[in-house]
Amino acid sequence: MDWRAVSFDWNRARAFLVTAEEGSLSAAARALGLAQPTLSRQVEALQRELGVVLFERFGRGLELTPAGVQLLEHVRAMGQGAMALSIAAHGQSEAIAGPVTISASDAYAGLWLPPILQALRQQEPALAIRVVAENSASDLMRREADIAIRNFRPKEADLVARRIAETSAGFYASDSFLDKHGRINTQSDWKDANLIAPGDADGFLSALQSVGLPVGPTSIAYECTSYLAMWEMMRQGLGVAVLDVRLGDREDGISRATVDPISLPFPIWLVAHRDILTNRRMRLVFDFLADALRQPPAD
C-alpha cells in the first residue's frame, strides 16, 4: 500500500463524518466537544485537501453534495474501524481507577441506582461514574455508554447481555387520589382511569390493550416523556402511573391502583460491548451491578 497517497488529516475526516450525521456544524461541534469555528475550519481544510466540495448551504443547514454522498460511506467505514480500535484497546486496560458510563432509564437512575452507586464508590473510590439517564437506548456500539440497564435483549452480536431478573410493572396512585377516585375495577373504570402515559400515548395504550386491558384514549389524563416526572406527578395526586413493582411497593403514601392485582411482566438485562468486558474496571462494575440489581431496591 502506498501510504503517501493518503494525504489528508484523519481528524478532519472525523469532522466531516460527524457533521454529515448530525446535520449541522453546531450539532457536530457539540457532539465532538469542539468550538464551532474550529470544526468549520477542519471541514474546510478537508475539502481543500481532497479537492472537492462536501457540503452546500441551504438556509441555516447543510446538505451533502454528490461528491460528499459518495465519500461519506468510505468515511463511515473509517469511523467504524476507529471505534472498533478504541473499544478493543479500552478492553486491554488493567486499571481500576477511571471513568465508567452507565446508561439507564431516568426512573432506575433516580429511584434505584443511587444507593448502588454509593456502595460501588465506597468499594472503589477511584472510579469516576457517569450516569446517562435517558429513556431511549444508548448506542453501546458507538460508546455512548459502557454498560446499560435495559428491559430488552440486544440483537447486536458484539453485545453481551446478562438477564438479571424477571420483574413486573404495576399500576399505582397516591392514597389521596384513591380516596377521591377509588381503585380501578370495572371496564368503565378503565375508560376513565386518569392514566399518566410514559412517552407516546398511542404506543402505551397499544401495549396495555395487547394484554387485554380495556383502555382507550379517554383513559389517558397526561402524557410525560420522563418516567421520573411521571412518578412524581402520580405522587402528587395527578393520576395513575405504571412502574416496576419493586419500586412502587416500597413507597409510602401510594398504593396499587387496581382492585385486582395486575402486573405486566418484563425482564431486566445488563448489557455491555464484548470487548469492553475484557477491561478489568468495566468487568468489576458490570459484575457489581449484576449482583446489586438482583436485590430489591434499598429503602
- DSSP symbols for 90-107: HTT---SSEEEEEEE-HH
Measured from the Cβ of residue 295, the count of other Cβ atoms closer than 10 Å reads: 10
Contacts of 158 (CB under 8 A, 6+ apart): 141, 273, 274, 275
Q: Whole-structure pTM over 0.85, yes or no?
A: no
Q: CA-to-CA distance for 250 and 25, rounded, in angstroms?
A: 47
Q: CA-to-CA distance for 268 and 113, rounded, in angstroms?
A: 14
How is residue 88 written as a grid cell?
A: 478493543
Q: CA-to-CA distance for 219 and 193, rounded, in angstroms?
A: 5
230 and 224 Cβ atoms separated by less than 8 Å: yes
- Please give the chain's pLDDT, 299 residues, in tens: 444 445 567 778 788 888 888 877 888 888 888 888 887 888 888 888 888 888 787 766 778 888 778 878 877 777 676 666 565 655 555 567 889 999 999 999 999 999 999 999 999 999 999 999 988 888 888 788 999 999 889 888 888 999 998 999 999 999 999 999 999 998 889 999 999 999 889 999 999 999 999 999 999 999 999 999 999 999 999 999 998 998 889 889 999 999 988 889 989 999 998 888 888 889 999 999 999 998 877 76
Maximal CA-CA distance, the chain? 79
**Quick one: DSSP state of residue 24?**
S
13 and 80 Cβ atoms separated by less than 8 Å: no
Contacts of 191 (CB under 8 A, 6+ apart): 214, 215, 216, 218, 219
